Structure 1
Amino acid sequence: MGVNKKSCTSCKKNLTIATNFYKSYSKFDADGYMAICRKCLKDSIDYSDLKTVKDTLVQINRPYIHSIWLSSSEEAKNKNQDHFGLYIKTIQMKDFRDLTWKDSDDVETKKKISNLPIEEPSTDSNLNNQEIEQFELELQDNNRLDVIKMLGYDPFEFENNRDKRHLYNKLVDFLDEGTLEDGFKLPTVIEIVKTFNQLDKINNTISNMTTDVASLTSNAGTIKSLIDAKDKLYKSVLALAKDNGISVNHNNNKSKGSGTLSGIIKQLQEKGFEEASVNLFDIETCAGMSQVADISNESIFKQLQFDENDYSAMLIEQREIITDLNNKVSKYEEEIRLLKKELLKFTNKNI
C-alpha cells in the first residue's frame, strides 16, 4: 500500500499527508487534512507579532482563542515543543473542532476553558503578589491545563484544593479518544477518579487509626465501618469500569496495535508531535533495540527447530527480498544521480 500524499497549496510540494499536514474537520477538506502543510503554516508566523498568528489562522479558518494561546505558550515552554503546533492540537479537540475564525475570542468559550478572569492579568499595583503567584501556579500545572483543554471545563472545580492536583493527575491518564468521544463514558471516568480519591482518604484514616495497639482497640468499630465503606466503593468502581469498558480486561475500544510502539507513534504524529518520527528512528536504530532483536531472534530460532525444507524456503524468500531491495537501491541511486546532474546545471548557471 502506497503512502498517501498531497500537494501543499502554498509551497506546491507533494508531501506525505499524515506527517506533514494537520488534521481538519472542515467539510471543505475532503481528505480530512488541511490544504497548507505544517511547515508553511509555521514559517508564516512571527511569535513576536501576534498579527501573523491571526493572519495564519484566517487562512485555515481556525479560531484565535486568547486563553488557549496563552496556555499553549506555557505548555510549549515546559515541554520544549512548538507553540503553534500545541495550539492547533488543542483547538482540534472535540469541543472546539467546529469553531471557525468567526468564533475567535468568544467570551463564553474563554469562560469554558478556564476559571481565570477573562481579562488578561493586570500588571498594576492593584493586583497583589498572592494573586500573581496563584496565576503562575495554575499556568504551571500542566495536568490541570491539559484536562481543561480537552474537556472544555474544570471537572473538579468544587473539590478540595488539596485534592485537585491528585485528581487531575489521575484523570489525565484516562482521557483517550474513546473516552472524549463518549458522552456517557466521560462522566463515568470522572466519577471513578473521585471515588479513588475517597478510597485514598479512607486508607489514610485506617492507617492513622492502626498505628499502635491502643489506637486500634479504641477505634475497632470505626475501622470496621471504614473497611465496609471501602469494600462498597471498590465494588462500585469495578462495576463502573466493567460496564463502560474502562479497565484493561473489559476495554471495548482496544484495537490491534494500539498499544505498540508503532501505534503510539502514529497517534503522536496525528496529534502534531513532529518529534515522534525522529524518536522512532532513534529507537529503531539504537544499539539497545538491536541487541533485544538479536536475543529475540535467537530464542525464536532455538524453539522453532527448522528442518532442511524450512531452510530452503527461507533462503528462497530471502533471495527474493534481497533482489527486490537491490533493484530499489539501483533505481534510487539512478534518481539521485540524475538529480545531482540537474542540480549541477543550476549551480553552473548561477555562477
Structure 2
Amino acid sequence: MAATPKKKVIKPISDEPKYLCPYCNREKKKADFYTSTDPLVLTGITCMCKLCAERIARNWSPASKTYIGETKASVQEALERLDKPYFDEVWNYSYHEAQSSNSKLTIWGSYIKQMHLSQYKGLRWRDGDIFDRYKIKAEQEMDFKNYITQTSPEDEEIKLAYETNRRDVLRMVGYDPFLNYPLESDKPVLYAQLVNFIDDETKEDGMKMNAVIQIVQAFNQIQKINDAINEMSADVMKITNNNGTIKQLADTTTKLLSGANALAKDNGISVNNNRSKSKGADTLTGKMRELEL
C-alpha cells in the first residue's frame, strides 16, 4: 500500500496589528505613526498618524489638494498633538535647511528629523520652549497675586485701585485689552493710564479707542527702557562699556515716541484729548513730554 502523502500545513499569516488614528478615523500600521515619548502610552505610538500631523503642520488645503506651507503656529499645533517639544532653535535650523537649494526636505520634515537626535530623545511637549513660557508667565502671575494679597494698608490701597481701574476699563472698552499682556505686574499701570486717557469721544470711536490702547502700551515699554538706561548709567565706571546698548535703547525710545505721537495725531488724540481733564501731565501730549525728559 502506497504511503499517503502528507498534507502541507499552511500556517495562517498573522495580520499586522492596526491602530486607529482618531483624526482621520482610519486604521493604520504602526509604522504610520511616530514613536510616543509618553511612558504611559502602552502602544508606544502617538495618537495622531504621520499624515494627519503633516497636514496640520504644512497647512493642507482640502479645496486645492495642496500644502499651503508651514508656519510656526501650524508646526506648534502639530507638535502639541503629537506631544513633541517645540524649540525655537530647531525651528530656525529647519527653516534654513528647507530653504537651501540642495535640500529636498520641508520645514516639517527637517524638524521631525531633528527630533530623532539623541539630545531630544524622550522629550515631550512640556519640555519645549512654549511650555516654559507658559510656566514663567504663570509664576509671574502667581507672584503678582501673592503681592496684591498683602494686608498692609498701602498694599490694600494698591489692590483696590487696581481692581477699580480694571473694572472701569472693562465697562468703558467692553473687553479687557490687557488680558493677554505677558507681565501681570504691569497691568495696574496699564489700567490706570488707560482710564485717565479715555473720554466720552473715545468711548464712541473704536479706532480712537484702539489707538489709545496702543499708545498706553507704548508708554509702558518706553518707561521700562528708560528704567534700563537709568540702571546702566548709574555706575559711572560702566557707562563706557554700556554706551552701545544705551544708544540702541535710546533710539528705540525715540521710535516708540514717534510712533505714539503719529498714532495720536492720526486719530485726533493729541489735540482733542479729554477736554474735561487738565491739559497737564495726565493728557497724552503731557505724558509724551514727560517721557521725553
- Shorter-chain-normalised TM-score: which range? 0.3 to 0.5
Please state which structure has a larger fraction of its residues in strand: 2
Q: Which has the higher contact order (CA 8 A, sep 6+)?
A: 1
Larger radius of gyration: 2
